Amino acid sequence: MSRKNKLTGKIYKNVEITDIGAEGKSIAKIDQKVVFVPFGAPGDIIDLHITKDRKKFLEGKIVNIHKESKQRVEPFCEHFTLCGGCKWQHLKYSQQLKYKEIQVTDTLQRIGKVNYNFSHNNIIPSPENQFYRNKLEYTFSNKRWLFDEEIKKNEKIEDPEGLGFHIPGYFDKIIDVKKCWLQPEPSNQIRLSIKSFAVQNGYSFFNIRKKEGFLRNVIIRNNLKGEFMVILVAFENNMEQITKILDFINKLFPQIKSLYYIINPKKNDSLDDLKPVLYKGDPHLSEVINGLVFKIGPKTFYQTNSRQAISLYNITSKYAGLTGKETVYDLYTGTGTIANFLAGQCKKVVGIEYLDEAVDHARENSRLNKIGNTEFLSGDMSKLFNEELFKTHGNPDVIVTDPPRAGMHPKVIEQLKKINASKIVYVSCNPATQSRDIEMLGDIYNIKSITPVDMFPHTQHVENIALLELK
């Protein structure tokens, strides 16, 4: 047996879980080597099965718990451990918040090379830690995930179809979700009714390996008013079947205010280049934040936790510290939510975003709210954010940046170091790339304050807002 896998398959008795790692897995140690273990809690005493032996660390799984940690609670979802959505259900919510705070500060120190000479505000808990999402996407499969007891029976499966989530690590395996605790009702009822109607009427579910079948995905969106949007994605353009199933759910659920379908005959699931067709109802849902109305279409990006988004924007506004005289640049503006939120507090906001469609929505949101001091531009940020832009639209006094998980492009960071804006408010969904970018800005900017925000309870993910000030 080679060195790198000599421990694979071994079981160690009475091992203590000691910590939680940055990626959400718990941590134990075997012979001074770190073992990453899913679904553990610090204080657990477990029997540990080593599943992978890496050069610098091990991976393992719990096969028995001798003593449960005081940090544990009973998971509320029957799909816990199989579905990849809520991997921290077994941890008390107060402990989840603690580990997220530690993740942010440790990452800033380790990657960002920053000291602790800044204001560190406590993490903002989510107002709700169940049924908090405003969007979910489910996948149809003609061969759902089978449980061990079903396989052992060696009998014909009477209900092979599934409508649910991809199981982590298996692109072609779908867990048939009975109840999801992420989106408020009637989200579950809509999904279950769609599946029941499809099965009873002989609709074919998608086979991801063979790329055949009729029903492919269903996307459910909602707003705080309790209104819903449903987008049915079909692999084949069969209007007779599409009409029957959409009429069925439209009649059954008056909460559905917007009903779309999309035909996706491609090999991949991406909808970016496909046009949603409005079947019935309004083309948009609307969400209201601090008196501002934002339209949400079938492909609109909007913060997934609507109530917590208000906290995110309020902290961003507080850090910007606007007096009414500033020119603000909102980088990676998306549909302009932050830009429009700040527009009433400054002289002008310039929002920049890669996608033309998102910029169109941003402009529409400004028109909808009668905001006249915003300008939105579309293009590659690394090419558009330059001196020519500043000559046309003015030098920024304050920069707000909310990049994707990959962080900011190095060319954008180099430009930020040249223009000397007095403040940068950095909103991030990935503390690691945020810390990397802050380290790159460190010779020009000091970090003054951070506020972590919990947008995704029961997961390891955490947002962080950092205020950087010019030295």
Q: Do residues 373 and 341 make contact, with C-beta atoms less than 8 angstroms apart?
A: no
Indicate which residue of 83, 86, 180, 429 is catalytic: 429
Phi (first) and psi of residue 60, to 5 degrees: -150, 175
In whole angstroms, give the CA distance from residue 191 to residue 179.
9
Closest CA to 263 of 295, 305, 231: 231
The number of residues making up the chain comes to 471
Cis check: omega of the bond before 404, within 30 degrees of 0: no
Residues 6+ apart with CB under 8 A from 127: 307, 308
Closest CA to 447 of 101, 112, 123: 112
Residues 6+ apart with CB under 8 A from 12: 30, 47, 48, 50
In whole angstroms, give the CA distance from residue 350 to residue 237.
41
- Per the annotation, the verdict on 429 as an active-site residue is yes
What letter would DSSP give residue 262? E
What string of DSSP letters covers 387-454? HHHHHHH---SEEEE---TT---HHHHHHHHHH--SEEEEEES-HHHHHHHHHHTTTTEEEEEEEEE-
| Cα distance between the two ends of the chain | 56
In whole angstroms, give the CA distance from residue 86 to residue 464.
20
Tokens of 237: 């353009």
Q: Do residues 161 and 145 make contact, with C-beta atoms less than 8 angstroms apart?
A: no
CA triplet 109, 114, 118: central angle to 5 degrees? 110
How many C-alpha atoms does 5 have within 13 Å on its Cβ side?
5
Q: Do residues 328 and 346 make contact, with C-beta atoms less than 8 angstroms apart?
A: yes
In whole angstroms, give the CA distance from residue 290 to residue 82.
39
Q: Which residues are catalytic?
A: 429
